[in-house]
Amino acid sequence: MNVLFVASELAPFAKTGGLADVIAALPAYLHRAGHQVLVVVPLYDTVDVSKAHFEAVFDTDLRLGDHQYQIKFFRVGSGPPIFFVHCPALFGRGRIYTSDSDEHRRFLALQFAAIILCQRMGFAPDIVHAHDWQTALLPMMIKTLFARDPLFAKTRSLLTIHNLNYQGSFPSAIGPDTNLGSVAHLFHNELLSAGRVNFLLQGVLYADGITTVSPTYANEIQTEAHGAGLDGFLRARRTTVVGILNGVDYGEWSPECDRLIPHRYSAADLTGKELNKQALLESLGLPYQPRVPVFGIVSRLVSQKGFNLIAPVMPELLRRHGFQLVVLGSGEPGLEDMFSRLQRAFPRQVCFYRGFKNDLAHLIEAGADAFLMPSVYEPCGLNQLYSLRYGTVPIVHRTGGLADTVRPWNPSSGTGNGFLFEHHDEAGLRWAVLAALAAYRDPAQWQTLIQNGMAQDFSWEVQGKLYEWVYQRLGEGN
């Protein structure tokens, strides 16, 4: 099949979260499986262009309403070709996402650029695979503005929702910038008369298929509690909503071959894990003490991730049980301050590294004993999957992809790979941390937990096949 991927992130060039990892790995899998795949992403000024050879391919003008842009395409890639859209006026902002008044135009430009690229290359996609609000207008664009272009005569569209809470909601005054002015009736009418347009909703309404990144999240987003206002629309399309867990690129994330950690190890020989723990603590200036467990956190620091439970629960647990906690992340100032205060209160036990640092993320996965993800909601979650692979026992709230991948530890049967708490409250987190500490005190139990996790396979070779199945099914709808 010919598959066009359009997205706002791509690891390692532009990443704020899991979306970037998926856009790097899923097209690579599809390419290996014999499909023709094109990937189109923005060339932000933050992209490190020394990471690859960027070959200029062609230039074009783009008009969005009254706004005129100059666009250059650069091609990279030895696997599936990746096309970067260079437009400093839009993508030169020092960061990936902004709250600037032209945020909608930045990603409209990306979507139009992807269509122009197909036209220039004579690439007729069987599937246009859009991701999140930044590319969610593509299904509608193909069905309206480009409906007469024979290149798209057979194209079917798939929208993957990586996080329903980011919707791209803008004032309806941006309408003319979509170049869809004459067909404004295509936008959701009630919302339009309330003065808004919502890009993700348009995708939900127009995409031929909808997937999200775990089976549990696929159900959750159809409920009022987790539907972020779109649950009714998703319920109306329930037969097209499919949950597919993200895979892991084990070429990047495996303790056997990870080039970013000082000591490699495997399930058969965990010696290197303990050495990584020492290296981790040393690099962060914390004392290493054998048999003292280290908990890790690597995360965007946003309310979704549930760290509001840390301040009321952790100080007492740290004081009583003496374990250590290493935290890597940045985000909301209130959460950054909370972790800074925790570090000041427990200087020998807690280290908070504020920032985004890929090699430290790998070292935490490798060196920590347990990994904390108390997310309020979690569409898929990648870090618990990485943790399982690295023998780092996940402690999570039972929600979304966490519920689908972490199985509760049962000491009597020796089954399970981690700890889940049911209700997102202080008692839940406290219970889960105490249960993990109790298991850690028994080396045989902990070994079994580690082995159970490391034996699991969430590779793209498995998950990618499910996407192929969805593409196939959409194709048959022609």
Interface ranges with ligand ADP (CB under 6 A): 17-19, 21, 298-300, 328-330, 356-358, 361, 380-383
Residue with Cβ nearer ligand ADP (152 or 295) = 295
Residue with Cβ nearer ligand ADP (17 or 322) = 17
Q: What angle do CA 423, 335, 288 make, to 5 degrees?
A: 90
Q: How much of the chain is in helix, strand and coil states, percent to nearest 5? A: 45, 20, 35
User: CB of 82: closest distance to ligand ADP in angstroms?
Assistant: 19
State the alpha helices, DSSP H only, in 285-352: 310-321, 333-345
Q: How far is CA 66 from the centre of its chain?
A: 34
User: CB of 21: closest distance to ligand ADP in angstroms?
Assistant: 5
For helices 460-476 and 18-32, what crossing angle results, to 10°? 70
Cβ atoms within 10 A of the Cβ of 154, count? 13
293 Cβ neighbours under 8 A, 6+ residues apart:
323, 324, 369, 370, 436, 437, 440
User: CB of 357: closest distance to ligand ADP in angstroms?
Assistant: 5
Residue with Cβ nearer ligand ADP (172 or 358) = 358
Cα-based distances in Å from 288 to 99, 234, 275, 278, 359: 43, 50, 10, 6, 20
In this structure, what token pair is assigned to residue 466?
């499910």
User: CB of 102: closest distance to ligand ADP in angstroms?
Assistant: 25
Tell me which residue of 128, 132, 155 sits closest to 202, measured CA to CA: 132
Residue with Cβ nearer ligand ADP (264 or 300) = 300
User: CB of 399: closest distance to ligand ADP in angstroms?
Assistant: 12
Residue with Cβ nearer ligand ADP (214 or 324) = 214
Residue with Cβ nearer ligand ADP (330 or 459) = 330
Residue with Cβ nearer ligand ADP (25 or 87) = 25
Q: What are the two backbone dihedrals, phi and then psi, of residue 197, each rounded to the nearest 5 degrees? A: -125, 145
Residue with Cβ nearer ligand ADP (7 or 205) = 7
Name the closest residue to ligand ADP (Cβ). 18
User: CB of 159: closest distance to ligand ADP in angstroms?
Assistant: 17
User: CB of 330: closest distance to ligand ADP in angstroms?
Assistant: 6
Cα-based distances in Å from 176 to 64, 171, 185, 188, 284: 8, 11, 13, 15, 51
Phi-psi region of 50 (alpha: psi -120 to 50; beta: other; left: phi over 0): alpha
User: CB of 360: closest distance to ligand ADP in angstroms?
Assistant: 7
Cα 174 to Cα 178: distance, rounded to the nearest angstrom: 7
Q: Is 253:365 a contact under the CB 8 Å cutoff?
A: yes
